[in-house]
Structure 1
Amino acid sequence: MGSSIRTLAGKGGAACALFVLGVPADAGFIEDSQGSLTLRNFYFDRDYKGESNVSARREWAQGFILNLKSGFTEGPIGFGLDLQGMLGVQLDSSRDRAGTGLLPVERGSGEAQDSYAELGITGKIRYSKTELHLGTVMPRLPILISSPARMLWQTFKGGHLRSTDIPGLSLQAGYLNRMNQRDSTDYQKIAIAGPNGRFDGTAESDEFLFLGGDYALGKNLTLSYWHARLDEIYQQNYLGAIHQLKWGPGEFKTDFRWFLSDEEGEGKAGSVDNQYVGLNFGYKLGGHRLTVGGALSSGDSAMPYIAGSEPHLISEYAISSEFLNADEHFWHVRYEYDFAAAGLPGLIGVARFMKGTNAELPERLGGGNREETERYLELSYVVQSGPLKNVALRLRNSRYQNSFAPNATMRDDNETRINVDYTWKLW
């Protein structure tokens, strides 16, 4: 399956798109199409504390994301075409504050670009309940989450196959050979994330393969298994389980995540040897939701993941650290309140405390027994009516501290992010 998808992704994406453009506009192709324009205003402010050669990363920018999705042509095999255009415009930046991930930075001057844009084209084929997408794809899988954490999204080139023909079972497979980061318009080979020198971040590959799926075992339990391989760098297996049940007047949720990772082939990024086991327990009662959980990272290295992507960990949604260093012990408490229960629909508040201990860093950064903490507050609101209906405001603030060595790339900081988003449905 991998070699077939690889061939299609390498040669068939453009051919598929050209073929679809030449297909008569069947009813499904037009009638099932949809278009939207998302406006995303993003302010990012990371104020570094303590000893640091950079005092702050602070920028403000406006993003435009146009999504045009066709339906499928009629017949046993349907064809379709998706287009995505993204534009980022600088509103405020300077050379000493650039590098937030909102805007590309000129290598020579160190200044952020005034604007940048890209166009993604995806051809798609459907048979029964199986779809193959070729071209620009944005996977959201346990072993690879295309990051939406800045103004514009991270994208990949390749092929992505999805099937739900078997009731209760969702199967997916894919081949990717290029990635484009959130603040870039240039597609590059796929690299491993390497902050603090945990891996050689310059190691690249032009082959990322994945295969896996989710199985709903009844209404309350979902099991997952995934396998991924970044050629000549690392391979990874994932097992997950989510269980939900009514318990008393509320709902109880258990979320289990297990990753097993080691180097693949020549191991160009260095030794990879990691087991990560995480568990969350959550309880929802009315507008209240309380989640507590923890994770253990063991082995000789940190857990690997693709550069710029979002690792699917118990620490997800942390905005200053991933808490996945070698031998790191992590725990957190998260409280969320939906003010709809108090008569204010659209308003949600979140408070969270995260702590990692026993982290093992490279020897040049001081070795092991390091700690890191993050305190996180979030308030979001979606306008419910009137001329501004569906405008979404999101305010996030975190205070991050660690005991890492002074020359570590992850430094103490106070970070604020403000988003104003609006999606206009064109048709």
Structure 2
Amino acid sequence: MNTALRFTPLFVALAATMPFTAQADEEKAEGFIEGSSLNVHARNYYLNRNQLLPGVRDNREWGQGFLGKFESGYTPGTVGFGLDAYAMLGLKLDGGGGTSGSSILPINTKGDGEPGKAHDSFSTAGAALKLKAFDTVLKAGDLFLTNPVIAGGESRMLPQTFRGVSVTNNSFDGVMLEAGQASFTKPYNQSGHRRINTFYSKLQDERDSRHLNWAGVAWSGVPNLTSSLYAAELEDIWNQYYFDVDYTWQVNELVSLNPGLHFYHTQDTGQALLGHIDNNTYSLHFTVNVGYNSLTAVYQRVNGNTPFDYINQGDSIFLDNSQIYSDFNGPNERSWKLKYAYDFAGAGIPGLSSVVSYSRGELDMSKVDPNSVGYGHWYNADGENAQHWERDVDLRYVFQEGQLKDLSVLLRWASHRGTQGYSHIDNDVDEYRVIVDYPLNIF
């Protein structure tokens, strides 16, 4: 049995007392109202997924989402208090007729367990109390989190949130420290909260964790060089450790080179509700930027007889070959990617950009334990390596001025194909998405 990390609520509370190097400046302390802001984000989302396997139905959904976020300032004094609050509303524009199920909208379940029609609307609201002392902020309540071990999913119409407590400290130049505990999550296509589970444990009954604890440090103390180190415990499922380093070398005004590494180590802990896990996963990227052009090469490797797993519906998979449809994170998978990006400002069209990429992976699923509680469905009895590839194209335009300033339109195409041994994991699909984002600052 592995030694578990223990970041209890007491630990988080004590973390708020970590040493401070800055001095309080009460004269400059912003007021609760004076320092507040209110922003509304409207997102129109259409997804059409053409399933190419016989007997698998297509998915088509179209919805309109609204997210309003209020963030107060802090009351004056050495210790300031504040409040963050949000409200979300999702509306179905199209998704009936048996075509729903692309995860934009919540759906009813028929008596036979098959998905039914999408809800006409769904909504949720939440808030977090916050406390600021010197350079430390403590929040408790509903949180928007973004770090390598727990990041709310933002790839659909509305974002994912978590309920718990977090603490961040910025006392040292170029260093950000954070820690926290989350016990519940609000998925991006639901109104209510539920216990935290993983991308693959959603396939298992009663495989939820009571909470996830995390602590980490992000460093940017040297120009053009960044690095971060995180550790997390998903109670009775895994301990996960993450490290990254990224460097940009500016060769001249026109050319820059950008190498980088992302690395995860995951191992089971406690009751091991998903079974044995011993997984090392990493990705390496190297980007050459020349003017308005960039070309990136990626190599990604999963060393382990289980896939690289992460929080369900979340974006805590900071790997370079995590694509629109597939994450190329299967057991013992090796994959590579080539990506080309162009900023049309170089052609006199500021705001228009494009990205084209091609990824290819090969897995050995014969070593997967067929009796694994969480991952046995990956097992390939024929002992053959499975292969798959994905091709992605993005075209985005952001309005630069006028009443539509900052409104963006994203057209996204993806095609995925796999050999017969892989088709039971990710289907053969052609899909396209149309995403219109309009951020609005009220005050």
Cα distance in 2 for partners of 1:192, 1:77 equals 37
In structure 2, stretches of 5+ residues that fail to align are 1-5, 14-28, 369-377
- Picking from 38, 43, 47, the partner of 2:46 is 43
Kept in 2: contact 1:46–1:57 (CA 8 A):
yes
Partner of 1:227: 231
Write the deviation string for residues 255-306 of structure 1: whole angstroms up to 9, x where unpaired. Answer: 1011111111111012212111211011212111111111111122111211
Partner of 1:145: 151
Does residue 1:175 correspond to 2:155, yes or no? no
Does residue 1:333 correspond to 2:338, yes or no? yes
Displacement of 1:372 in angstroms is 1.3
Cα distance in 1 for partners of 2:294, 2:10 equals 42
Cα distance in 2 for partners of 1:134, 1:68 equals 15
Partner secondary structure for residue 122 of structure 1: strand
Write the deviation string for residues 187-230 of structure 1: whole angstroms up to 9, x where unpaired. Answer: 11111111897xx4751111100011112241122221110110
Kept in 2: contact 1:302–1:325 (CA 8 A):
yes
Cα distance in 1 for partners of 2:422, 2:441 equals 48
Kept in 2: contact 1:217–1:223 (CA 8 A):
no
Does residue 1:242 correspond to 2:246, yes or no? yes
Partner of 2:350: 345
Relative to structure 1, is the Cα distance of residues 368 and 406 closer, same or farther in structure 2, using a 3 angstrom cutoff? closer
Displacement of 1:138 in angstroms is 1.9
Write the deviation string for residues 319-353 of structure 1: whole angstroms up to 9, x where unpaired. Answer: 11111111100100111101112211100011000
Partner of 2:276: 271
Partner of 1:401: 417
Write the deviation string for residues 109-151 of structure 1: whole angstroms up to 9, x where unpaired. Answer: 7110000000010111111111111111121111122110000
Partner of 2:372: none
- Picking from 288, 294, 300, the partner of 2:299 is 294
Partner of 1:304: 309
Paired residue type of 1:376: D
Partner of 1:66: 68
Partner secondary structure for residue 341 of structure 1: helix
Paired residue type of 1:104: P
In structure 1, stretches of 5+ residues that fail to align are 9-25
Q: How does 1:322-401 map to 2 (within 5 A)?
A: 322-360=327-365, 362-363=378-379, 367-401=383-417
Kept in 1: contact 2:360–2:389 (CA 8 A):
yes
Partner of 1:106: 108
Kept in 2: contact 1:192–1:201 (CA 8 A):
no
Kept in 2: contact 1:86–1:117 (CA 8 A):
yes
- Picking from 73, 82, 91, the partner of 2:84 is 82
Cα distance in 2 for partners of 1:402, 1:146 equals 28
Partner of 1:12: none
Kept in 1: contact 2:386–2:422 (CA 8 A):
no
Paired residue type of 2:46: Y
Cα distance in 1 for partners of 2:219, 2:422 equals 46
Does residue 1:284 correspond to 2:300, yes or no? no
Kept in 2: contact 1:196–1:408 (CA 8 A):
no
Partner of 2:435: 419
Partner of 1:132: 138
Cα distance in 2 for partners of 1:238, 1:315 equals 16
Cα distance in 2 for partners of 1:213, 1:251 equals 27
Relative to structure 1, is the Cα distance of residues 339 and 195 closer, same or farther in structure 2, using a 3 angstrom cutoff? farther
Partner secondary structure for residue 340 of structure 1: helix
Partner of 1:15: none
* 338-347 or 187-196, larger mean C-alpha shift: 187-196
Displacement of 1:251 in angstroms is 1.4
Relative to structure 1, is the Cα distance of residues 370 and 185 closer, same or farther in structure 2, using a 3 angstrom cutoff? same
Relative to structure 1, is the Cα distance of residues 406 and 164 closer, same or farther in structure 2, using a 3 angstrom cutoff? closer
Query: Taking every aligned residue pair, what percent have the same amino acid on both sides?
Result: 28
Write the deviation string for residues 16-51 of structure 1: whole angstroms up to 9, x where unpaired. Answer: xxxxxxxxxx96211111111111100011101133
Kept in 2: contact 1:6–1:159 (CA 8 A):
no
Cα distance in 1 for partners of 2:91, 2:383 equals 42
